[in-house]
Amino acid sequence: MTILLILLGLFIGLKVAAFFGKEEQNIDDKNPYLHPELAEQVLPEDMQKYVNSRAEHKQRNIYEFFIKPVIDNVLSFLGLLLLSPVFILIIVAIKIDDPGPVFFMQNRLTRNKCFFRLHKFRSMKMSTPHDMPTHMLTNPEQYITRVGRFLRRSSLDELPQIWDIFRGKMSVVGPRPALWNQEDLIAERDRWGANDVMPGLTGLAQISGRDQLEIEDKAELDGIYTQQLKENSISGLIVDVRCFFGTLLPVLRSDGIVEGRQNR
């Protein structure tokens, strides 16, 4: 009983911290996907037609609406507790290797193309272009720190996203959160309705090739995941379990990781 009370206290404490650490209220003020008047200024013409577009999907079923968020809360809470020693070791290593911020934060898209601040362990130097996917960098190795190289190969740089799951901006399983300016990926996901679900730490595309996939193939897999999630509660649970356990071996083997344009 004492242990349960301690865990409950920690859970409530972290939820309070998540509430007060939420995004700024104006984070979506310059979101071109929610404000059509801004789209013409920052988005390519062929992308503007996808602003505010909505795919025709069924309403969220019981699994997506209720059970999946509960699972996300439980798994992320346990992850934060059990992996706290790993977090501390990584923080110390980053500070020793390359003084500067421990965490890297960046605007990404969550459900319905709203913005949120995604957290990662910083794996690149402070001189790295900020709002650019790594695969778009020319010779990205020049920007990656020594500790960062290990973090990226082992996917440990993604661990802070457990906090993003706990605060309700991500899910354990779902399409990977896109950068706001990845117009090609966002447009393809719109065709499949994959922007209308919560992004995830891992997903069907992650276990099917990850960075080695072309944009169209990645978006199609995200669409297949979305269809199965919304089909019914049973199919949603099955695809999530498949993606969760299907992630373990590829992560251990560093499968599908590609760095930079020269490797595309």
In a domain, 3, yes or no: no
Relative to beta strand 103-109, strand 115-121 is antiparallel
What is the tally of structural domains in the chain?
Answer: 1
Confidence of residue 135 (pLDDT cuts 50, 70, 90): low
Query: In the predicted model, what is the mean pLDDT of residues 72-76?
Result: 97
The larger pLDDT score, comparing residue 59 to residue 2, is at 2
Residue 16 burial by CB count (10 A; 0-12/13-18/19+): exposed, middle or buried?
A: exposed
In a domain, 211, yes or no: yes
218-241, pLDDT tens digit by residue?
999 999 999 999 999 999 999 999
Q: Find out whether 120 and 136 touch, Cβ atoms under 8 Å.
A: no
In a domain, 90, yes or no: yes
**Rounded Cα gap, residues 246 and 251, in angstroms:** 9
In a domain, 216, yes or no: yes
Q: Find out whether 119 and 104 touch, Cβ atoms under 8 Å.
A: yes
Which range (132-146, 150-164, 202-216) has the least confidence?
Answer: 132-146
Q: Which of 27, 13, 23, 6 is nearest to 168 (CA)?
A: 23
In a domain, 22, yes or no: no
144-156, pLDDT tens digit by residue?
899 999 999 888 9
In a domain, 151, yes or no: yes
In a domain, 26, yes or no: no
Q: Ranked by mean pLDDT, which of 4-13, 38-47, 66-75 comes out on top?
A: 66-75
pTM for this predicted structure: 0.85
In a domain, 4, yes or no: no
Which range (77-81, 137-141, 173-177) has the least confidence?
Answer: 137-141
- 222: containing domain: 62-263
